[in-house]
A and B are shown apart, each in its own frame.
Chain A
């Protein structure tokens, strides 16, 4: 029952984040909000891992060798997305920029899958793992909303 409820809560969080990010009518504004949320989610995840090492729920070596490289790619990829959106805001939408952004978001999505798998594998405490998964799901929801924003008309 607890497992079913966890899935329901996770789905609710995902839908809420997607809705909140996509409810603004302006495309570049929606993208900016989503990229801002991705940056905040990274901060939350990195702080979670830092605290996790300090409290001994996860080893320093695993964080350094597994989580850190993934988070660094997420960080640089989001920086790329922010640059493209800024350019989009100044010069307008083109199919080229759309493709560029979709490629960047795909890369981001791939890294999030790796992050989720690493969490499942290395965070042994069930409550902490659920919290980590919640943060990753919020990030996935935001990334999904970016894809919807980029491909929708208008």
Chain B
């Protein structure tokens, strides 16, 4: 393997790692959704949407 190829693979690994880190909260949430009722999921969605609004407002 050439140094150039190795660098490309390292960049790819870093990218995959970043992607997984970004997706971890989603995956954790998907797991807990399985144990909740539809109303509870909707309540959580509303709460998360309001939390998102607060972060967006602070931009």
Contact = CB atoms under 8 A, between A and B. Distances in A.
A13 B26 CA distance: 12
Determine chain A's interface SS by DSSP, over half rule: helix
Contact of B59 (A9, A40, A67): A67
Nearest to B33: A33
B52 A26 contact: no
Interface residues of B, number: 31
A46 B19 contact: no
A84 to B, nearest CB: 11
B12 A78 contact: no
Contacts of A13: 19, 23
B56 A72 contact: yes
Nearest to B53: A75
Contact of A43 (B8, B33, B48): B48
A9 to B, nearest CB: 6
Contact of A35 (B18, B42, B56): B42
A124 interface: no
Shortest Cβ-Cβ A-B pairs, 10 listed: A39-B48, A42-B52, A36-B45, A46-B55, A32-B41, A39-B49, A29-B38, A35-B45, A43-B52, A71-B56
Given A39-B46, A40-B29, A134-B19, 13 more contacts: A2-B12, A36-B29, A39-B45, A40-B48, A42-B49, A43-B25, A50-B59, A53-B59, A68-B59, A82-B45, A86-B42, A130-B19, A138-B26
Interface of B: 8, 11-12, 14-16, 18-19, 22-23, 25-26, 29-30, 33, 38-39, 41-42, 44-46, 48-49, 51-53, 55-56, 58-59
